[in-house]
């Protein structure tokens, strides 16, 4: 039986812009803003007015919810991902989550009303947006299942596989997030995160050299993620 992995931290990027006509693409281009964010800067804030849909052109970001005291990371958004799609259908036009740049990032901001207009007038484009929202929902369900039912090894294996398969799309990548940020992703303490990574390294599941991480035994990580 195939050993599948249901990623809890990211989704596959689904292309929607290819469903637009040349005129519609031109309209989007004429009504966009391009903004650069430094690592650690907020891209959007939960509860703030949402005037634009955000598309990540370069970089890496996280989406999270917060209550003023605590926060929970919901997902990692790679290049080609959207931020703020749930605001399309919010009655009060506010961002439902916050987003922060994990690394220097460039985003394009598309006017919210224009985005809604394209959805209403282009059925194929609307279908792709619905697919993206559905993928996001499944990912969030997997996220909460992982945090609720998996132990530290299972959570770490899950996140490392997500980063490899969905974010960097290679078994060897530069882990340009801090150990604390990785801890936030796994729902572990920083100390637990460091110990778990060391254990994976000692068991030859991964190699770590500086900021470079390489998955050397993916099958073992899959087993740990699925049953840990």
CB contact at 8 A, 5 and 139: no
| pLDDT per residue as tens digits for the range 144-164 | 888 889 999 999 999 999 999
Q: Do 177 and 124 belong together in one domain?
A: no
Q: Give the sign of the dihedral formed by CA 5, CA 132, CA 142, CA 194.
A: positive
Q: What 3-state DSSP class applies to 78?
A: strand
Q: In what order do the strands lie in the sheet with 105-111?
A: 32-37, 105-111, 52-58, 82-83
Q: Do 159 and 66 belong together in one domain?
A: no
Q: Do 121 and 138 belong together in one domain?
A: yes
Q: Do 22 and 98 belong together in one domain?
A: yes
Which residue, 97, 123, 143, sits at the end of a domain?
Answer: 143
- Domain coverage including residue 33: 17-143
| Residue 1 pLDDT greater than 50, yes or no | no
Domain count, the chain: 2
- C-alpha 181/C-alpha 223 separation (Å) is 24
Q: Do 113 and 212 belong together in one domain?
A: no
- C-alpha 152/C-alpha 158 separation (Å) is 10
Model pTM greater than 0.85? yes
Which residue, 143, 161, 185, sits at the end of a domain?
Answer: 143
Across the chain, mean pLDDT equals 91
| pLDDT per residue as tens digits for the range 43-62 | 999 999 999 999 999 999 99
The tally of CA atoms less than 13 A away on the side-chain side of residue 142 is 21
Q: Do 131 and 169 belong together in one domain?
A: no
Q: Do 56 and 135 belong together in one domain?
A: yes
Does 111 fall in a domain? Answer: yes
Predicted confidence band at 6 (pLDDT cuts at 50, 70, 90)? Answer: low
> 8 is written with which tokens?
């809890």
- C-alpha 37/C-alpha 65 separation (Å) is 20
What's the confidence (pLDDT) of residue 15? 77
Q: Do 131 and 216 belong together in one domain?
A: no
Name which of 5-19, 109-123, 161-175 the model is least confident about: 5-19
Q: How many C-beta atoms lie closer than 10 Å to residue 153's C-beta?
A: 18
Does 104 fall in a domain? Answer: yes
Domain with residue 221: its CATH number is 1.10.10.10
What's the confidence (pLDDT) of residue 228? 73
Domain with residue 123: its CATH number is 2.60.120.10
Does 159 fall in a domain? Answer: yes
Predicted confidence band at 92 (pLDDT cuts at 50, 70, 90)? Answer: confident
Distances from the Cα of 119 to the Cαs of 79, 124, 125, in angstroms? Answer: 22, 8, 6
Does 91 fall in a domain? Answer: yes
Which residue, 143, 166, 196, sits at the end of a domain?
Answer: 143
- C-alpha 202/C-alpha 209 separation (Å) is 13
**How much is the CA Rg of the chain, to the nearest whole Å?**
18
Does 66 fall in a domain? Answer: yes
User: ∠209-192-63 over CA atoms, to 5°?
Assistant: 80
Predicted confidence band at 223 (pLDDT cuts at 50, 70, 90)? Answer: very high
Q: Do 75 and 157 belong together in one domain?
A: no
Measured in residues, the chain has a length of 228
Does 8 fall in a domain? Answer: no
Distances from the Cα of 197 to the Cαs of 16, 24, 74, in angstroms? Answer: 37, 47, 21
């Amino acid at each position: 039986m195939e050993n599948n992995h249901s990623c809890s931290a990211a989704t596959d990027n689904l292309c929607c812009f290819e469903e637009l006509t040349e005129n519609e693409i031109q309209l989007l281009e004429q009504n966009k803003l391009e903004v650069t964010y430094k690592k650690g800067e907020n891209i959007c804030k939960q509860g703030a007015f949402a005037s634009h849909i955000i598309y990540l052109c370069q970089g890496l970001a996280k989406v999270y919810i917060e209550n003023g005291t605590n926060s929970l990371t919901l997902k990692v958004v790679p290049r080609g991902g959207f931020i703020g799609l749930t605001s399309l259908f919010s009655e009060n036009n506010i961002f439902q989550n916050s987003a922060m740049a994990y690394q220097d990032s460039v985003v394009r901001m598309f006017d919210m009303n224009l985005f809604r207009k394209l959805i209403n007038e282009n059925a194929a484009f609307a279908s792709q947006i619905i697919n993206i929202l559905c993928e996001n929902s499944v990912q969030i369900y997997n996220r909460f299942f992982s945090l609720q039912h998996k132990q530290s090894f299972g959570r770490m294996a899950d996140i490392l596989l997500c980063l490899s398969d969905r974010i960097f799309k290679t078994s060897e990548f530069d882990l340009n997030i801090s150990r604390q940020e990785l801890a936030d992703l796994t729902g572990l303490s920083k100390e637990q995160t460091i110990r778990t990574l060391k254990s994976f390294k000692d068991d030859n599941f991964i190699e770590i050299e500086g900021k470079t991480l390489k998955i050397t035994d993916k099958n073992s990580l899959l087993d740990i993620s699925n049953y840990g």
